[in-house]
Amino acid sequence: MGHLVIAIGREFGSNGREIGELVAKRLGISYYDKVLLQLAAERSGLSPEFMERNEEQASSSFLFNLSTAAHSASNFFYQYDVPLGDKAFFAQAEVMRELADRESCVIVGRCADYVLRNHDRCLKVFLRAPLEHRVEQVARILELTPDEARARTLRMDKGRANYYRHYTGEAWGTAHNYDLSINTALAGTRGTVDVIYTMARAIEEAL
Q: Which domain holds residue 167?
A: 5-202
% pLDDT > 70, the chain: 81
pTM: 0.84
**CATH number of the domain enclosing 117:** 3.40.50.300
| Of the candidate ranges 21-30, 46-55, 109-118, the one whose mean pLDDT is the lowest | 46-55
pLDDT mean across residues, the chain: 86
| pLDDT tens per residue across span 99-146 | 999 999 999 999 999 999 999 899 999 999 999 999 999 999 999 999
Instruction: Determine, yes or no, domain membership for 149.
Output: yes
SS (H, E, C) the chain: CCCCEEEEEECCCCCHHHHHHHHHHHHCCEEECHHHHHHHHHHHCCCHHHHHHHHHHCCCCCCCCHHHHCCCHHHCCCCCCCCHHHHHHHHHHHHHHHHHHHCCEEEECCCHHHHCCCCCCEEEEEEECCHHHHHHHHHHHHCCCHHHHHHHHHHHHHHHHHHHHHHHCCCCCCHHHCCEEEEHHHHHHHHHHHHHHHHHHHHHHHC
- How many domains are contained in the chain? 1
Instruction: Determine, yes or no, domain membership for 207.
Output: no
Instruction: Determine, yes or no, domain membership for 140.
Output: yes
| pLDDT tens per residue across span 77-111 | 444 556 666 888 888 899 999 999 999 999 999 99
Give the pLDDT band (50/70/90) at residue 67.
very low
- Per-residue pLDDT at 38: 84
